[in-house]
Every structure is written in C-alpha cells, then in structure tokens.
Amino acid sequence: MSQTIYVKLLDEGVDVWRPVLAENGPDANSFLILPHPTNQMSSGEEWEFKPCSRVLTKEIKLEGNLVRVAYKKIG
C-alpha cells in the first residue's frame, strides 16, 4: 500500500519537507520512495533521499499535523 511521506530538501537554509509517494516496506517504519511521476524532483531541488531509495521513517509534527518523515536510508 502506498502513502505520502516527507523527504527533507537540502541546501534550503531552513527545514523544508517535500511530500512524496512511498510504498510500505516489511514493517511499519520502512518505505520505498516510488519513482512515480509526482516524485520527480523539480529543478533546483536536492532531496535527502532520491526516488527508489528505501528509507526508515518516524513521525514528527509539521505545521500542527503528525506526519511520517524519512530519516535514514536502508538497504
């Protein structure tokens, strides 16, 4: 099943998070960032984790909402 997770953008000067579509891994905290057309990097964006990366996630509060963010590449 796929869902939206957030990937940090690098070199922004402040914390900026990009929503991306990812597929659940073997456990609740691991995901594969999909090479879905909506996951194409815009010109000038540098993602901490690129499409097709397997990542671990954790929940944090962003703008008052609890969301899942990628924090470590795995595999």
pLDDT digits (tens, 9 = 90+) for 9-60: 999 999 999 999 999 999 999 999 999 777 887 888 999 999 999 999 999 9
- Domain extent at residue 28: 2-74
For residue 64, the SS3 value is: coil
Quote the Cα angle for 59-28-73, to 5°: 75
Distance of alpha carbon 15 from alpha carbon 13, whole angstroms: 7
Contact by Cβ (8 Å): 25, 72: no
Give me the pLDDT at residue 41, please.
Answer: 78
Give me the pLDDT at residue 37, please.
Answer: 79
- Domains of the chain: total: 1
Spatial neighbors of 38 by CB under 8 A, at least 6 apart, are 20, 21
